[in-house]
Amino acid sequence: MTLLPTAAQTVGPYLAIGLPWEDGPYAVEAGAAGSVRISGRLLDRDGEAVPDGMVETWQADPPAGAGFRGFARCPTDADGRWHVVTLPPGPVPGPGGAPQAPHLAVSVFARGLLHRLVTRLYFADHEEANAADPVLAAVPPARRDTLLAVPDGGGYRFDIRLQGPGETVFFDA
């Protein structure tokens, strides 16, 4: 038996009533050894902040350990800012067994998005691994840098542009 999947609908402007969790941005406890803060802005076509969105991340455990939550969610604030605190992900195999570069799976929700957007976050300072990553290899070279979080003040910065110049690469997942 194959059932028709339920259709997606937009989160609308009021997701803050139902979705934020107090510990949402923390894939790992605050202050945990080795944790990194990843922050950025969610921007529309005109570079305006998207203040009614939400970003979620999911990732592999770090190489040295297992059992951390691995999942974070953060609503955007009035300036479109979001952040998550997590541990650097370990490498996982990709299609054909080739290793993938460390990455986070990212979901983006907002008023005006009828379905979630899926993107990936890679780390700009893992140049060698990124160059060999099979998913990045399928992205037009000129757009690959939209998927790179850049080192910034001890953490990383990752802006997401929904449309227009520098539009983030989104995936059909």
Partner 1 sequence: MTGEVAGFRRDDRDVHPPLDFPGYKATRSRSPREPLVHLPHTITEVTGPQLGRDRVGALDHDLTRAHAGEPLGERITVSGRLLDGDGRPMRGALVEIWQANAAGRYRHHTDNWPAPLDPNFSGGGRCLTDDDGRYEFVTIKPGAYPWPNHHNAWRPAHIHFSLLGEAFAQRLVTQMYFPGDPLFGQDPIFNSVRDPRARERLIARFSLDRTQPNWALAYEWDIVLRGRDETPMEDAL
Interacting residues toward partner 1 by CB under 8 A: 1-19, 21, 44-46, 48, 50, 52, 56, 58-60, 69-71, 92-98, 100, 103, 105, 107, 109-118, 120, 134-135, 138-139, 143, 162-164, 167-173
- Distance of closest approach, residue 19 Cβ to partner 1, in angstroms: 6
How much is the CA Rg of the chain, to the nearest whole Å? Answer: 16
Strand runs labelled E in 28-101: 36-43, 53-59, 71-75, 81-86
Nearer to partner 1 (CB atom), residue 19 or residue 152: 19
Instruction: Return the SS3 of 97.
Output: helix
Shortest distance in whole angstroms from residue 129 CB to partner 1: 14
Short-list 85, 106, 107, CA closest to 38:
85
In the complex, the smallest distance separating the C-beta of residue 128 from partner 1, rounded to whole angstroms, is: 19
| Cβ-based nearer residue to partner 1, 136 or 156 | 136
**Minimum Å distance from CB 25 to partner 1?**
14
Residue closer to partner 1 by CB (options 21, 127) is 21
- If the CB atoms of residues 40 and 52 are measured against partner 1, the closer one turns out to be 52
Residue 141 to residues 65, 138, 146, 148, Cα–Cα distance (Å): 33, 8, 10, 12
Q: Which is nearer to partner 1, 88 or 112 (CB)?
A: 112
Closest CB 79 distance from partner 1, rounded Å: 15
Residues 76, 54 contacting (CB under 8 angstroms): yes
